[in-house]
Copies of this chain bind each other. A is one copy, B any other.
Amino acid sequence: MSKRLQQEITTEQNRGTVSVIQGQASGAPPTTTATASGPPGGSLQLVAQLVPVTPAGGGGGGGKATPPSKMKKTSGDKDSDEYRQRRERNNLAVKKSRMRSKQKAQDTQQRVNELKEENERLEAKIKLLSKELSVLKDLFLEHAHNLADNVQAPGAEGASPAHNNNNNINNNINNGGCNNNNNGQ
C-alpha cells in the first residue's frame, strides 16, 4: 500500500499534480515530497498538499477532463488490484535478479583473485623445478666428463652401461617418479 506512493508521485508530480506522501515505512526508502526533500534523518511524516485540481486540464495540453467512467476492473489499467499485485511481484523479482547478478559479479571477481594466487604458486613451482633441473643437468654433464676421464684412464674394460637403459628409464618415467605435491592454499 504505501509503496506506490513513491515514484508515482514523483512521476505525477512531474506534471504538476500533487500528491501525498509519506515518510518511510519500514526499511524502505525515504520518499519525500517535492517541496521538502527529506534526506536521511527523516522524521516526519507526511505532508499532503493538495492542489487545486483544475478540472480542465489545460496545462499542457491536453485536456481531457475527467473521463470518469472508464475503468474496467480487469486491467483496470493501473489502479486495479491486479495490476498492483503484478507490479509488486515484478519488483520482487527484479530485486532478486539484481541481487543475484551482483553476487555473481562478486564471485567472479573473487575467482579472479583465486586464480591469480594459484597462478603465482604455479609459477613459483615452475621456477623451482627449473632450477632443480638445471642443477641436475649440470651435475650430469660434470659426471659425464668424469666418466669419460675415468673410462679413458683405467682401460678399455668398462663399457658404459648407459645404453639399454632407455627402456628401463622409460618405465620409470611412466610411473611418474615422484612428483606429487600437495598444496593447499
Contacts and interface: CB of A to CB of B under 8 A. Distances in A.
Interface string A38-77: 0000000000001111111111111111111011000001
Which of A70, A128, A157, A177 has its CB near the most chain B CB atoms (within 10 A)?
Answer: A177
A3 interface: yes
Contacts of A134: 172-173, 176-179
Interface of A: 1-8, 10-17, 19, 34-35, 50-68, 70-71, 77-79, 105, 108-109, 111-112, 115-116, 118-126, 128-140, 142-143, 146-147, 149-150, 153-155, 157-158, 160-162, 165-166, 168-169, 172-173, 176-185
Given A132-B133, A181-B181, 18 more contacts: A11-B14, A34-B77, A50-B61, A52-B77, A57-B79, A58-B65, A58-B79, A63-B65, A129-B133, A130-B177, A135-B172, A138-B172, A142-B169, A146-B162, A149-B161, A150-B158, A177-B177, A180-B180
